[in-house]
Amino acid sequence: MRTLEFYPATPGVQALRPYAPGKPLSELEREYGIRDAVKLASNENPLGPSQRVLDAMQAQFAGLARYPDGNGFELRTALAQACAVSQDWITLGNGSNDVLELVARAFLSPQTSAVFSAHAFAVYPIVTQAIGARAIVAPAHDGSRGPRFGHDLDAIQAAIDADTRVVFIANPNNPTGTWLDRSALHAFLRQVPDQVIVVIDEAYFEYVNEADYPNALEWLADFPNLLVTRTFSKAYGLASLRVGYGISQPGLADMLNRVRQPFNVNSFAQAAAVAALADTEHLQRSVQLNRQGLQQFSDGLRDLSLDFIPSVGNFIAVDVGRAADIVYEKLLREGVIVRPVANYAMPNYLRISVGLETENHRCLQALGKVLAA
Ligand SMILES: *Cc1c(COP(=O)(O)O)cnc(C)c1O
C-alpha cells in the first residue's frame, strides 16, 4: 500500500484533536470480559425512548428507499408550535452538534475568531479549529464571583475582539453542570455587538427547574444575532438518532440552511422526534428520574466525602482528589463507565451521568471501593 507521510490538510485540521466519546458498553465488555456493565458516560437518558417513539419509527420502514424530507416539514411544524415561532425560525441538525458546525461554517473563517469559556463543551473548540478560525478561551470563574469552573460572562464579554463572529455559551454547561441566570445572560446579550452571533446551547434545557434559569427563546425577537440550540439526545432519549435544532430569526436560519446538507436528518429521526415532542408524560418521567438521581448522587458523594459541582444537568462533575484517569480505569474494571474530563482541564474530575437508581447505586459503590483501595 502506498501512503503519504504528510497529508496536506489545512493548518486548523493538522492541529485538531478529535472528540473523545465515552467508551461504548460493548467495547468495555469485549475488552475486559465484563458483563452487565453500566454506562454513565455520555449523558444519555437511562429510560430511553417511549413506546410511542418506537411505533413512529416502525412506521417509517415502508419508506426506507426514499430520501427523507429535506425540509423536515412535520418536525419543523411541531417544533415551531412548541417554541411559539414560525417554521422558518427552525434549523434542523444531525444532532445539535451539526447546528454548531453550521454556525462555524457559515460565520467563521481563518480571519475571524470565536469566543467560549474555559471548561466549555468540547465541540466549540473543535468546530472553530476545523475552520481555521482563532479560538479565544475566556477564563472561567475561580469560585469567588460565581460557581467555580462556571462561565464568567464578564470575561467572555472582555474576550470579544474586533474579528469575533461567534460566541458559544452552554447553559447549562457540560461537563460542569453550571448555569447562568436570566438577568446576567440578558445583560450580556445587550452588550454584544450585532456582528457577533451568540449561540446559547440549551442541550439540557428540559432538565432545568431553577426559578431564574432563562428560556433564551424569549429573547429571539430582540436579538437578531441570537441562536438557541436544543437537542433530542438528552432528555428525549434519542441520542442514537442524531437530531437537534436551532431556533433563531429567519435571516440567521437562512444562513445556516445554506450550508446544511440537504438530508441531514433521516426519516426515522424526524418521525421519532415528532413523537417524542408530543409525549410530555415520558419527558416528565425522565426529568423526575433525573432529579431523584441528582439527589442520590449528591447524598452518596457527600457520604464518600467527595466534592462535586452542583449541577442542573443530567450529570455531575466529581472531584476525586487525585488523577481521575486512574480512578476511571479502576471503575472500568468494576464494570462502571464514567467520563474523565482531563481534556477539559479538570484532571481531578470525573463526569458521571445520572442513570437509573440501581445504576447510580452501583457507581457510588464502585467509587467508594476504588477510592478506599
Ligand atoms: C450533549 C450536548 C450537545 C448535544 O449533542 P447532540 O449533537 O445534540 O447529540 C450539545 N451541547 C452540549 C453542551 C452537550 O452536552
Q: What residue's CA is closest to ligand 1, atom 6? A: 95
Segment 235-260 mean pLDDT: 98
89 vs 128: CA distance, rounded Å: 24
- Distance (angstroms) between ligand 1 centre and the Cα of 231 equals 7
Predicted TM-score (pTM) of the model is: 0.97
- Write the pLDDT tens digit of every residue in 265-316: 999 999 999 999 999 999 999 999 999 999 999 999 999 999 999 999 999 9
**CA–CA dist 107, 255 (Å, integer):** 9
pLDDT tens figures, 8-49: 999 999 989 888 888 898 888 888 888 889 999 999 999 999
Q: What is the pLDDT of residue 35?
A: 86
> Right CATH number for 16-48+281-372 from 2.60.120.260, 3.40.605.10, 1.10.238.10, 3.90.1150.10?
3.90.1150.10
* CATH architecture assignment, domain 51-278: 3-Layer(aba) Sandwich (3.40)
pLDDT at 23: 86
Contact 248, 234 (CB under 8 A): no
Q: Express each pLDDT in 41-85 by its tens digit.
A: 999 999 999 999 999 999 999 999 999 999 999 999 999 999 999
Residue range 206-226: average pLDDT? 98
Distance of alpha carbon 244 from alpha carbon 265, whole angstroms: 9
Q: Where are the beta strands (DSSP E) in the chain?
A: 38-39, 90-93, 113-117, 134-138, 164-170, 197-201, 226-231, 244-248, 307-309, 315-319, 336-337, 339-340, 349-353
Shortest-distance atom of ligand 1 to CA 243: 8
Rounded distance from Cα 255 to ligand 1 centre (Å): 21
The lowest-confidence range among 25-29, 59-63, 176-180, 369-373 is 25-29
Nearest Cα neighbor of 225 from 178, 260, 188 is 188
Ligand 1 near 93 CB (within 6 A): no
Sequence spans of domains, the chain? 16-48+281-372, 51-278
CB 348 within 8 A of CB 306: no
- By alpha-carbon position, which residue is closest to atom 15 of ligand 1? 174
